[in-house]
Amino acid sequence: MRETKVSSRYARSLVDMALAKNQVPQIKTDMDLVLKTIDDSRELENLLASPIISSAIKSTIIKQVFEGKVSKDVFDFMNLVISKKREGLLLSIAYAFVDQYNVIYDIVNASCITAQPINDDTKNIIKKDLENKLNKKINIQFKVSEDIIGGIIIQFSDKLYDASIAHQLKLIKKELINSYISNN
């Protein structure tokens, strides 16, 4: 579970502090680092979630991993979370922070899947087109999947634009089956 009410509340308090201190971009950068670091390290994530390991050891490890790499405010916030015995939620809190940041700054996360790698000019055209259509900033991830055969799939919010050849073939197959059934 990526976000819980508790994680959302902790993230909200960090957002409020960042807004009050006018340090939102710096805190966002720091939380991106926290998110990536914990998300990329199963060992660190498990260590933070472990009820067997003491808070003192967890604080020491957080210090070794993050001190000097994140702002004092984020470092202090992480230690506060540990002191409240919520360190297992640090990853979830980081995700919740990024989600709340995106809402505040009207940023939509999107993914774009193509069968072949596309060049930077095409990526920029796709991004700008989405930004113009949605009237929001777009944070887009580009992926390659040969499974779609050709074309493009774009997903954002709860919307899916599937112009892949694989999708078109599925539609044709479905139409042929329906046509066959109705004729027999």
Q: Are residues 97 and 117 in the same domain?
A: no
pTM for the model stands at 0.74
Q: Which amino acid is at 135?
A: N
Q: What is the mean pLDDT of residues 27-43?
A: 96
> Structural domain of residue 89, as residue ranges?
5-103
Q: Are residues 95 and 162 in the same domain?
A: no
Q: Are residues 28 and 67 in the same domain?
A: yes
pLDDT at residue 155 greater than cutoff 90:
yes
For 101, phi then psi, to 5°, come to -60, -45
Q: What is the pLDDT of residues 61-73, one digit of tens each?
A: 999 999 999 999 9
Q: Return d(Cα 94, Cα 102) in angstroms, integer.
A: 12
Q: Domain ends where: 52, 87, 103? A: 103
pLDDT at residue 3, rounded to an integer: 53
Q: What is the pLDDT of residues 84-141, one digit of tens each?
A: 999 999 999 999 999 999 999 999 999 999 999 999 999 999 999 999 998 999 999 9
pLDDT at residue 180 greater than cutoff 90:
no
pLDDT band at 1 (very low <50, low <70, confident <90, very high): very low
Q: SS3 for 117? A: coil
Give a three-class secondary structure readout of 67-79. Answer: ECCECHHHHHHHH
Q: Are residues 82 and 119 in the same domain?
A: no
Q: Are residues 91 and 129 in the same domain?
A: no
Instruction: Give the CA distances from residue 153 to residues 40, 111, 125, 160, in Å, rounded to whole numbers and listed in that order.
Output: 26, 8, 15, 7
Q: Return d(Cα 75, Cα 67) in angstroms, integer.
A: 7
pLDDT at residue 121, rounded to an integer: 96
Q: Return d(Cα 120, Cα 13) in angstroms, integer.
A: 38
β-sheet bridge partners, residue 112: 142, 154
